[in-house]
Structures are given as structure tokens and as C-alpha cells.
A and B are shown apart, each in its own frame.
Chain A
Amino acid sequence: MSETTIQTVIAAVKILVIFNVLLGLFSLMTWVERRVLAFMQFRLGPNRTGPFGILQPVADGIKLFFKEEFIPPGADKWLFIAAPAVSVITAFLAIAVVPYGGSVTLPQASWLGPFAGREVSLQIVDLEVGVLYIFAITALGVYGIVMAGWASNNKYTLIGGLRSSAQMFSYELSLGLSWVGIIMLAGSFRIQDIVAAQDGGFWRWNAFIQFPAFLIYVVASTAEVNRTPFDLAEAETELVAGFHTEYASMKFALLQMAEYVNMITVSALGTNLFLGGWNAPFPGVPDTGLAGVAWFGVKVLSVLFFFIWLRGTLPRFRYDQLMHFGWKVLVPAAAVWILITAGALAFQGPRPAAAAVGAL
């Protein structure tokens, strides 16, 4: 087998694994979310299908498969069909550059053939402009929602679509600005480099060194994926179900999937940028290869739990409050923090600067 073929096969296997892990995590998340929320609200949640109700996602899937496909009269047929596809494609595209571990060396086993002893990096593509790429793809995610809202030919969906696009638009700015300090400290857009810069104990993680940026990221990413307390796009009390009011059956399932996959992406990215990626919290604890993947998984799952916890705790914002908060608090705060980080870097050079900024 030629070198190109081997590389292609490795990449294909990685893509397949990631795709299926995401799908599994998505269906599991729908169940976990309902159970945890129910627990927080002193209810039981779905507990009938299978042990602890864990087969609930399967039942939901089967139910959605057999629902009637309906395109509302007066809707724009092609855009109505394209909207869920665009949402899902952009959601899955973003995860391609997110690493989930360092690298593993395949064992020297004979059944692996030409793949034995090869070092495989645990990331689908290692882009030089990784962080920017994610920024760009998230920007494209808005279109699925706008399309869905407009094509449904319904006032509620249109308002829901416009609201959420305005919201994503506004919070994307602070999301991007919260990354700038980290990028300056690491001196690279490549996520691998950013993770490597956080090696050596949890006090080196950007969540501590760049604490204000971390806070901004948490708020902005919650808004970016339309989760409570920023889920105005689908505020049931005002807008029925927002942009996906008119969607049923598998199209509805796809829109839901896009939402959850976006949430997983944001959690994985936040883990890489702020929580040290696959680095262990203490030096000396093994974190190479599969151990790193385990650390990464633990961190991502905690962040996902945090999202559910937020939903169980906080009430919804009002729309004008949301806009004011985004533009008048988050963006200026992020800009000031960039200035502080840049100043520290300019006066002290990269390494001491990290310590100085952390001490602030």
C-alpha cells in the first residue's frame, strides 16, 4: 500500500469513529439531559424504556422516523428541506479540527499489516488556522437557522430565526475576542500548540491564567449554542418553538442533532482552549495516548453536565437584556482583557507574562 492510501485509510477511520461517537453522545445527551433536569426538579424523567430509561433515545428515534413528513403550505420547499441539512453539516464540520488527545502509537501486531507501529495523531485534520476555522464554521451555522425560520412561512419561526441569528451574530464577537488572549500566549492558531502551552498542572490551564476570558467564553458559548439562559430563539412562552416550529419527523430530529452536536463541539473546544485539553491536572499523572483521551472525555462530559446544570438553574433572559449584555458588557470586557494580556506580553515576554496575568 502506498503512503497516500495508508494516510487516507487512517483519516477515514478517524472520521468514522468521531462521527459515530458524536451520534452516540448526541442520543445519550438527550436522555441524560432529561433525567438530570428531572432530578433537579424533583421529578423522575423518562425511566420506562430499558434500564433507567436508557433506551429512550432509541424509542424517540423510532417515533420520529414514523411521523408524517409535512411541509407547510406556502413554505419555500427547497429551503425548508435544505435548512436542517445545512445545520447538521456545519455542526459536524466544526469538530474536524478539534483534537481529542495527543497521539497513539499502534501496536506492532502482525494483523495490523502496514499500520503496525505507526504514530496516529488523535485529530482529524491539524489545521494551521484551527481556531479561526472553527470561528468561520460557527458563523456558517447561523444560516441553517435563518433558512428554517424564513422558509417555514410563519411569523413565529421568522421572528425566532431572526432573533437567534442576531444573538449568534452578537455573541460570536465576544466568543472570538475571548480566544485572542490565549492565542497570543500560545503564539499560534493551531489547537495542538494551545494545548501544549497548558502542559504541567492545572494551574497552567487557561481557565486560571485567563480567568476573565474563560468567564466570557462560558457566557458567549452558551449563547452561541442557544442554550438556557439564552434560548430566546425557542422561547416557548413567546414563540411556540422558535425556528423549528413547523418541523416534524426526521427534519426535526436533524435540527435537534445539530443543536446537541454544536453543544458538544463547544464543550470540546472549551476543554482544549481553557481546561488544558488532554493534559492531566497534576504533573506526573499519565496523560499520553489513551490516558489523554480519557482525561479529555472526563473534562468534556463535565462541561456538558455544566450546560444541563445551567438549564436547570437559570431563568431565561429578556431579549433586550441579552443584546445589551452582549454588546455593552461582554465585548468591552473582552477588549479590555486583550489589552491587559497584550501589555503583560509586551513588557515581560511570553512565559513570565503568563504568570503575571495569572496573578492579576
Chain B
Amino acid sequence: MNAEPTVQHALLLSVGLFALGALGVFLRRNIITILMCIELMLNAANLAFVAFSNHLGTREGQILVFFVMTVAAAEAAVGLAIVIALHRGKDTLDVDAFSVLKW
């Protein structure tokens, strides 16, 4: 194995994290944990951006990461507000409990 961390190793790490995030979305049934797994996947994508940016010597990747982070912050705020509203209605956070569009 190559001793120097190359862009490939960072990308492999990113793939691993992304797959773990996806697996978490499949496995877990608590809405908040699922949201956290989505954050994990976003971070995996960010890592890929930073790795490419580092290899290609351009800052575009990092600027994209900057925007991903702001959008993730907005997403988390709205997502958690929805979770609170859901919890108020059903008193549970199990995704299986929210199987109807209206109640």
C-alpha cells in the first residue's frame, strides 16, 4: 500500500462514509437518527469535494462545500422543526407511525 495519503484514499473514505449513511437511513427507524444519517452522507460528499479540490489545485470544490454547509444548516433547522411538529401530533418519532398523508 502507498504510504502517502493520496486523493484516492480520501475518496475511499468518502465512499465508506456515504454508504454507512445510506445504510443508516435503511436501518434506523427514529426520524432524528435518519436526519443525522443524511448529514453523514452530506459530509461524505463534502469530503469528496475537498479531496478533488486538493488534488486539482482549484478552490471551486471548497466553495461548493461552503454552500453545502449553509444549505445543510437550513435543512437541519427546517427538518427538526418538522420533527417537533410530528412529535406533537403522534407522540412518537418512529417513521412507521407516519404512514398516512393526513391525520
Direct contact of A and B (CB under 8 A): no
